[in-house]
Structure 1
Amino acid sequence: MIQAAGLSYFPIAFIARMPFAMMVVGVMTLVVAARGSIALGGLTSAAVGLGTALLGPVLGMAVDRFGQRSVVLVAAIGNSLALLAFAWAAFAPVPDIALLGVAFLIGATAPQVSPLSRSRMVGIIQTRLPLRVRAKTLNGTMAYESAADEIVFVFGPVIVGLLATTLNPAAPIIGAALLTLVFTTAFAFHKSSRAVDGHAGAVVDRAPLRELLRAPMLVVVLGVLGMGLFFGAMLTALIAFMGEVAQAEEAGVLYGVMGIGSAILALSVAAFSTRFSLRARWLVFSSALVAGAIVATFATTIPIMILALALAGIGVGPTLVTAYALVAARTPRGRSATAMTIAGSAITVGQASASAIVGLIAEGSGAQLALLTPLCAAVVVFGAGVANWVISSRQPTR
């Protein structure tokens, strides 16, 4: 893959996805600091998620039609401008509704480098690599992509916290705008985009959109949505928990316990035997996610919470790898970018909505009640895995 995509691709694509992981938390942090309202902060985070949910798949459809280069470039410019406008509007004498509108634009213009990177990698595997190595390379590539996502989704909030406390509450949003303008533009113009852009223009018999609404695809999207809910619920509940037992600012360090183990295990998926089927992996590793969430509900001290996060980390990475591998396998012809952006949007929607809801729960009822919400999210992931097992037995994944 390094030879086929180019060595420079991987660091560019990695840094280019960082702003996406900083947006939801950065928006909430800035609003709380500038306007003094946790409720408004939660609403603006939800507005970002809503914009991504409504316009993210549209961006994917545009990529399938016109190619990644032009669509990603336009999105990068628009997203940078929206982020800078939000950094100004948060402190400006503008009404809250205007702030929500700009937050919606941030989500709507998000370039979604992560799902488009997966789509680009799948295109390269299908067009440039020998048939005998495609299945193994796809498995390893999805493992790398999920590990990269894990790292940015865990350390994105940490970077937001560091910039907000050491510089200014607006610094994370301004930093995300600059990263988007530089690295997302580099991602758009990278030579690897030619592999999928040329193919996109050549697809005449593109499958109808209704093919994406079939049960085998919808159940995977539900599982990915559950993972986004888990990310948002766990981080917000952890902040509330640390605010009661220590200092809320230390939550990001503890959250890294889950992310580091998850990233390592996500990479290890490439070494799994093919006899360990995708549907079995989903059930096994989502069970670890549920177990970690159960331990978190009983956490009253930091060591117990560390145990819960480490146990949950066993499940997070491999479950995401499995879900995206199923998305790649079940994508209808000519709809790769659309399918991947739908899955990527599901994570953001889950994270944003859970952050808003759990924040209100924590503020009104305390950390112990908030710590029940990651368990609810983990059950959604496990339930989707059970449904996938039933569907897969009826219609084997190609």
Structure 2
Amino acid sequence: IGSFLIDKPLILWINDGLMALFFFVVGLEIKRELVAGELSSVKKAALPAAAALGGVVVPAAIYLAFNAGTPSERGWGIPMATDIAFSLGVLALLGKRAPYELKVFLTALAIVDDLIALLVIALFYTHDINLTALGYAAGLMGVLTMLNLAQVRNLVPYVLLGLVLWVLILKSGVHATIAGVLVAFAVPVRNVVDSRKFVEDSLHAIETFKASETGTYNDLPSEGQVDAIHDLSRLAYSVQSPLIRAELMIHPWTTYFVVPVFGLMNAGIELHGSVHQALLERTTLGVILGLVIGKPVGIFLASWLGVKLKLVQMPRNFTYGIVLGAGALAGIGFTMSLFISELAFKDPVLLYDAKLGILTASAVSAILGLLLLKRFLRKAGT
């Protein structure tokens, strides 16, 4: 359209386009936690925020210790990332042994980590800014904000304007996936609900369903029951906030389609005879040690220091050993680390080394995290 031409190979449509949906869901999760979740107050957010800060600074420092002053220096953001889905998935293997407080801590930690990673992408992995496109994007973001303030609950305007915003962000030079986060932040999180009316209408629909029973066995509901079911469905939909509706709608697609496709297209590396040599390259070592050592050590030290300075408070039944185990699980960088590596390196050799480091570190971190948590949870008696 005019001078606006988008011509990209398939892998960039995945990395810039499909991954915008992934970051849209990440943005929804961050906003939900900031407004009404585990990050909604200073008291709740203090420990995971401090832990996340330590969990990005120490890995980046370890990476730079190996790579400062070399062409691979640009990859310092790779070991900062945590893959929230994989980390929580591995934690789920512990079943009931994993206390609720641990799940909340790891989730909040990973969300703050994602927020920091997004800032790093926007500030340090952006090139050749087009101020005109960026200005239009800022204006469109203003329109989205006005829709939010006006409590527009229909998701269609957000989707349509979000697509335009994606194009403008793409043309501005800022990574296009940031558009997903910005649109997510504009979607209203609260809903105006008349609780009494909702309960009354729901009870009326249930009574209608009961009264419409035919008294005979039949696999098919009566016409009155169908109407009652539709009423209940409409009522349930009406009390869901736009943010929750969007998250429920998009989350399965990102989990079962976007992330697997991204992983298949980006995680593949050719294992050949020189793998052992590649494992000793400074890029690979920086990523592995940053994720496997830097993550748990940074999270542990930041949490310990916060408690000692009385800036944060440890949850009930929590120990520093459990924090260390959670920190090890946070070393599963996978999706986010792969994404940052694609932004950091154009050199195929450096990209190969980074991916090898990410895959190795993610596997080691998963095993290490499980072993540490099994041990320290047993000691804590949970």
TM-score, normalized by length of structure 2? 0.30
Question: Based on CA coordinates, which of the two structures has the bigger radius of gyration?
Answer: 2
The structure that is helix-richer by fraction is 1
TM-score, normalized by length of structure 1? 0.29
